[in-house]
Structure 1
Amino acid sequence: MPTQAEPDGPAIELRDATKRFRSSSGGVHTAVRNLDLTVRAGEFVAVVGPTGCGKSTTLSLVSGLEPPSAGEVLVHGRPVEGIPAGVGYMFQNDAVLPWRTVLDNVAAGPRYRGAAKRQAREQARDWVRRVGLGDFESYYPHQLSGGMRKRVALAQTLVNEPSILLMDEPFSALDVQTRGLMQDELLRLWAGDDPLGEGGGAAVVFVTHDLEEAVVLGDRVVVMTASPATVKAVFDVPLERPRDAEEIRLTPEFLEIYREVWESLREEVQIARERGAGNAA
C-alpha cells in the first residue's frame, strides 16, 4: 500500500497518556491512564483488552478526535493537535452513504481533498478493483452484502493512501467465514507489492475483541488492562508472512502464541467481569 513520505522515527507514540471524561453525574471517568505505546512505520499492531477498557479511546487520541488530559500523543514525531495528515480511520460501523454508488462512495475522499472529479473517480476505480468489487462499482449499498460493504469501507479508507491506518473492530459484525475473507483481504492490501508483507511503510493499529484475529493479523499484540486502560503486556507474533488467515490458525506456532497472550488477557477479562458483577449487585 503506497504511503506518504515521512521522517524517520516511530509513526505513533503515546507517552504517559491519560484521558478523563466528565460523566453525566458530574464525576470524572478515567478511560486510559499512563499509557505508553510506540508503533513503527510498517508495523501491524493489534490491541486487545476487556470490553469497555479504553481501546477505542486510544485510537481517538491518535486520530486527534480526543485530546489527552495528560501526557503526550505524537504522530510522526509531532504532537497531535487536531486530525493529523495521513491518518485513515475505519470504524466498526461503516460510513457508506446509501444514496451513492460504490464508485462515488470511494471517490468522495479524494474529491474532499481537492482532486478533480475525473481524477478522483480514476483513483476510486483502481481501489474498487483492488478490493474485488470491479463488477459492482455502479451498485448502491442496499444491493451489497455485509462483506461487500466492508470492502467498500476499506477502499474508502485506503484510497487516500494513509501512512497510519486505525481500525476499530471493523469486522466484528461479520459472520465467521466472511470475517476470515476480510482478514486475508486486509493483509493482502496492507502488504501491497511487498511479498514479505512489511506494509510498505504503513503503520496499522487494529482494535479487536477477537484474540484469534489479533494473532492472525498482528506483528505484535498489545494487551490492555481492565479500565482504566494501560498497557499490561506486549507480545511479538513470530508467524511468517504472508499469512493465510484460516490456515495459520491450525499451526502449532499459532496455538503457542495464542495461549501465551490469553494467559495475560484472561486475568484482565476476569477483573472486568468481577467489577461488572459488583456494580450490578
Structure 2
Amino acid sequence: MPEAPPAIELRGVTKRFETRDGGGHTATRDMSFTVRQGEFVSVVGPTGCGKSTSLSLISGLAAAGDGAVLVQGSPVTGIPDRLGYMFQQDAVLPWRTVLDNVAAGPRYQGASKQAARDQAKDWVARVGLAGFERYYPHQLSGGMRKRVALAQTLINEPSILLMDEPFGALDVQTREHMQDLLLDLWSGTSAAVVFVTHDLTEAIALADTVVVMTAAPATVKDVVPVELERPRRVEEIRLEEAFLEVYRRVWDSLREEVEITRSRGAGRVA
C-alpha cells in the first residue's frame, strides 16, 4: 500500500507582495517543510519574518509565486476542505450568544438549527463554558472569548488546523490554561496543526516539531523535534531538563535571526 502523502507540504515556496510605492516585498523565500497528519508543528521566527504568510499559503488565502503548496497531496487552489483557522483576533460575532456563535459552523454546513445547537452545546461544555450559553461576547473575559473561538473552530472537526498566535493577548496564567485545553481537545483528533507563535515556551510545550524561520524573507533555518511524552501539562513540562534542552537548541538557532531583524530596525531608525 502506498504511503499517504503529508497532510501539508510546502516545496520551495517564494511569496512576493506588491508595495504601495510600486515595488515588491518578498515575504518567504524557497520555504519548505511538511506536516504529517496528526502532527503538531509550531513555527517560530523573528518579528515580521513571514510566519503568518505560511498560514495564508496553506489556507489558500494567498497564492504562492514560486514553488508548490499541497494539502493532502493536492495543490492548494482555494480554501481546502475541513480546514480550521484561529486568528490573533477572534471571530466571535458580538450580536450572537455563545451558543449561536459556536453553532454557526454546523449551520453553514447545512445542519438544522436544533442539530447545530445540540452539537454546539456539547462543545461549549467541552471548552468549560457550560452555563454561559446565553451570554454575549461583551459579557465574557478575554480568556472566555478565546474558549468560544476554539469551540467555533473545532466543532467542524478540521483535519487541518491553522493557528496564528491565538493566545498572544492573554495573561500568562490564562494562556497556560488555554494551551492545556487545546492539547486536551486536539489529542482526541488526528488533525495536523500549524501553530505560529513568538513564545518559545508555548511553541515547545505544544508541539511535536518546532520549525525555526530566518529573518525576512522567511525560509526554514532549522527543524527541531520535540521528543517529550504526551499527555503534557504546560506549567509542569517547562521545568523538565529535556524541555530546557530543546529550548536551548531552538533559541540558539533563533538568536542570530532576531539580531539580524533588530539591526535592520536600528538601521531604519538611524
Structures share fold, TM-score greater than 0.5? yes
Query: TM-score scaled by structure 1?
Result: 0.94
1:8 CA displacement: 2.3
In structure 1, the residue matched to 2:202 is: 213
Question: After superposition, what is the alpha-carbon deviation per residue over 1:109-151, rounded to whole angstroms, capped at 9, x for unaligned?
Answer: 1111111111111111111111011111111111111100000
Equivalent position SS for 1:246: helix
The Cα RMSD (Å) is: 0.8
Question: After superposition, what is the alpha-carbon deviation per residue over 1:68-104, rounded to whole angstroms, capped at 9, x for unaligned?
Answer: 0111000000100110101100000000011100000
In structure 1, the residue matched to 2:103 is: 107
Equivalent position SS for 2:131: helix
Instruction: Check if 1:236 corresponds to 2:232.
Output: no
Match of 2:256 among 255, 260, 267: 267
User: 1:115-130 to 2 correspondence within 5 Å?
Assistant: 115-130=111-126
Instruction: Check if 1:62 corresponds to 2:62.
Output: no
Larger deviation: 107-116 or 228-237?
107-116
Larger deviation: 7-16 or 79-88?
7-16
Question: After superposition, what is the alpha-carbon deviation per residue over 1:202-245, rounded to whole angstroms, capped at 9, x for unaligned?
Answer: 10000000001001000000000000000000000111100001
Question: After superposition, what is the alpha-carbon deviation per residue over 1:127-182, rounded to whole angstroms, capped at 9, x for unaligned?
Answer: 11110111111111111111000000000000110000000000000000000000
Aligned counterparts of 1:201 and 1:11: Cα–Cα separation in 2: 10
Equivalent position SS for 1:67: coil
Aligned counterparts of 1:43 and 1:114: Cα–Cα separation in 2: 29
Aligned counterparts of 1:263 and 1:38: Cα–Cα separation in 2: 22
Runs of 4+ in structure 1 displaced over 2 angstroms? none
Q: Structure 2 regions of 5+ residues with no counterpart?
A: none
- Across the two proteins, how many residue pairs are aligned to each other? 268
Aligned counterparts of 1:135 and 1:254: Cα–Cα separation in 2: 37
Aligned counterparts of 1:217 and 1:40: Cα–Cα separation in 2: 15
Equivalent position SS for 1:42: coil
Instruction: Check if 1:182 corresponds to 2:171.
Output: no
Identity of aligned residues (%): 72
Question: After superposition, what is the alpha-carbon deviation per residue over 1:7-60, rounded to whole angstroms, capped at 9, x for unaligned?
Answer: 922100001111100001110100001010100000000000000000000000
Equivalent position SS for 2:238: helix
In structure 1, the residue matched to 2:32 is: 36
